[in-house]
Structure 1
Amino acid sequence: MSFLSPTLRLENLSTQPTMTQDHVPEDQRYNKQNIVAQWCVPINGKMYRIELEHGTTSGRRMIWVNGREVLRRDWMFKLVGEDTFHIDQTRCIIRVDPAPGFKYEYSLYIDGKSHDQYTEDMTRQYRLWLYTDDAAAEAPQEYRIMLKLDTLSLYVNDELRTEESVFVHGGTDTKFLLQDTEFVLQARSSGNKHDGIVHTLLANGVPVPEAKMQEIMQEPVSILQSSN
């Protein structure tokens, strides 16, 4: 996958998708085997799985976000080009370029930045933890906990939480309960300007390893396989 210049132009593409399959239920239109590219992107504290269907024989191009269709073009004679869509008011572009051997390269741009550039920015702006409660009553419960550093907004499975922080020696603690698991988000001074504030998440008193944003964004299905 290659990432080209974020200075993009729309050429020979309608601004509206062509809807010719509206009579087919959305869940039947979605076929995982037809997906040729996928990306994982955090936008405003929520994680999104973006998938592209590119039919080189049918001429159909479809874009799915968390399993929902956001754009469809049928019978396109031009198999390369760009498509624009929005997620939570953020402009996204998927670009299709020719590659050697009658193949194609697929690139995603978010807010004018390539997926790689955007990933680097998000790594600096967010902290992410993944936790699985194996002791849940019916089935293991998975939690994706994200902290936006500039606003200290806390998201659990894409939902914004309103939790109060209390001052403790050396920093603050933010406590919240999910099912039978008590979480504590600790904020402590690192003691030096370079590292600043260090955030640690505890689940029932046990530290939860911080997930690497760059790895997670390259493996969308592993954390969003049940999203709708």
Structure 2
Amino acid sequence: MSFLSPTLRLENLSTQPIMTQDHVPEDQRYNKQNIVAQWCVPINGKMYRIELEHGTTSGRRMIWVNGREVLRRDWMFKLVGEDTFHIDQSRCIIRVDPAPGFKYEYSLYIDGKSHEQYTEDVARQYRLWLSTCHSSSTSDTPPQEYRIMLKLDTLSLYVNDDLRQEESVFVHGGTDTKFMLQDTEFVLQARSSGNKLDGIVHTLLANGVPVPEAKIQEIMQEPVSILQT
């Protein structure tokens, strides 16, 4: 006579490793405390937060992009190496290398370039402005922060990662592109600088007031490259 319940009998027990997290919902698998390295990367006008979980005792390696799991490896007995994944057709590689003192160094590469080099190249391809808008309809509405990016080669305009379809109007000396965010009217001006080196100068106005241009590096999160395990 068996003292086990029908569901606990040996023939009903799973033979699969219990280390896997397949049975755990994705939102419960994500734990900020397990992240050992993170980067912020601009790809095609959108900002992506890449995070790495490196379980040196569990053997689990997970990669998250904007809080979504894109790669997971269980039972990784080799703690160093590299993993490849893609973001919007860009090939990304995270490398795990040994460092002195039983530590690990984590590096990110995008399209064959290091995170630092890739960011510098992208910074030359975009113009960036940061603006905070307040709604005049109700005082209970919290202010909204906007990240406005202009891709210079295609003149694509992105607002908080969303591609905008706005028409440019020819004016004296260049073009104006108008769009509304909450109750604020924005005008993106494109004017000739008068010399070949500077080319076209882009200025963003919010209700007629110039918005200071920001640097992409200013909104990047510094990567945690070397951590104690």
Give the deviation of 1:2 after TM superposition: 59
CA RMSD of superposed structures (Å)? 12.1
Which shifted more, 49-58 or 136-145?
Answer: 136-145
CA contact (8 A) 1:3 1:114 kept: no
Give the deviation of 1:215 after TM superposition: 2.5
| 1:220–1:69 distance in 2 versus 1, CA, 3 Å | same
- Percent identity between matched residues is 91
Provide the C-alpha distance between the structure 2 equivalents of 1:73 and 1:218, rounded to a whole number of angstroms: 25
Q: Once the two structures are superposed, what CA deviation does each residue of 1:15-50 show, in whole Å capped at 9, x if it has no partner?
A: 999992122111111111111111111111111110
Which shifted more, 90-99 or 13-22?
Answer: 13-22
Provide the C-alpha distance between the structure 1 equivalents of 2:118 and 2:11, rounded to a whole number of angstroms: 24
Give the deviation of 1:205 after TM superposition: 1.2
| 1:108–1:216 distance in 2 versus 1, CA, 3 Å | same
Q: Once the two structures are superposed, what CA deviation does each residue of 1:181-214 show, in whole Å capped at 9, x if it has no partner?
A: 1111111111111111111111111111111112
Provide the C-alpha distance between the structure 1 equivalents of 2:4 and 2:209, rounded to a whole number of angstroms: 43
CA contact (8 A) 2:106 2:226 kept: no
Alignment of 1:45-194 (within 5 A): 45-130=45-130, 137-194=140-197
| 1:161–1:217 distance in 2 versus 1, CA, 3 Å | same
| 1:128–1:15 distance in 2 versus 1, CA, 3 Å | farther
CA contact (8 A) 2:104 2:227 kept: no
Q: Which runs of at least 4 in structure 1 moved beyond 2 Å after TM superposition?
A: 1-20, 131-137, 217-225
Give the deviation of 1:8 after TM superposition: 47
Provide the C-alpha distance between the structure 1 equivalents of 2:196 and 2:83, rounded to a whole number of angstroms: 43
Give the deviation of 1:135 after TM superposition: 8.2
| 1:167–1:144 distance in 2 versus 1, CA, 3 Å | same
Query: What SS does the aligned partner of 1:183 have?
Result: strand
Provide the C-alpha distance between the structure 1 equivalents of 2:4 and 2:128, rounded to a whole number of angstroms: 28
| 1:161–1:195 distance in 2 versus 1, CA, 3 Å | same
Query: What SS does the aligned partner of 2:2 have?
Result: coil
Provide the C-alpha distance between the structure 2 equivalents of 1:3 and 1:112, rounded to a whole number of angstroms: 60
| 1:161–1:221 distance in 2 versus 1, CA, 3 Å | farther
Provide the C-alpha distance between the structure 1 equivalents of 2:185 and 2:137, rounded to a whole number of angstroms: 14
Please give the TM-score of this superposition, normalised by the length of structure 2.
Answer: 0.83
Please give the TM-score of this superposition, normalised by the length of structure 1.
Answer: 0.84
2:27 is equivalent to residue 24 of structure 1: no
Which shifted more, 6-15 or 18-27?
Answer: 6-15
Query: What SS does the aligned partner of 2:27 have?
Result: helix
How many matched pairs? 226
CA contact (8 A) 2:126 2:149 kept: yes
Provide the C-alpha distance between the structure 2 equivalents of 1:43 and 1:23, rounded to a whole number of angstroms: 32
Give the deviation of 1:218 after TM superposition: 3.2
Q: Which runs of 5+ in 2 are unaligned?
A: none
Query: What SS does the aligned partner of 1:220 have?
Result: coil
